[in-house]
Amino acid sequence: ARAGRELAERGWRSAVALAPTPRAATWLSRAAPGTLVETEALLASRLGALAAGCTGWPERVHETLVRLGVRTLGELRRLPRDGLARRF
């Protein structure tokens, strides 16, 4: 909280989230700032609801995902891994 206040005083914006992995924390900070996920057991359910756009992947990837009907990380996770790897 103190770091956020000090950044705001300097004209910076911050978004913080805590998670068991750096990538998960980054995605949560983009889509759900202030989120705290303490265990890996809770991670999949918390990430699943996030919009796929929180990944920061190139726009063309997001456009393809939307065409496939994929809007959340949970929907993305349910796709067959081999086919997804070939496509992207």
**Dist. CA 45–CA 5, nearest whole Å:** 30
pLDDT at site 83: 87
Q: For 31-88, how does the pLDDT look when each residue is reduced to its tens digit (9 = 90+)?
A: 999 999 999 999 999 999 999 999 999 999 999 999 999 999 999 999 999 988 888 8
Q: Can you tell me which residue has the tokens 């889509």?
A: 31
Token duo for residue 35: 């989120």
Q: What is the pTM of this model?
A: 0.81
The confidence score (pLDDT) of residue 86 equals 87
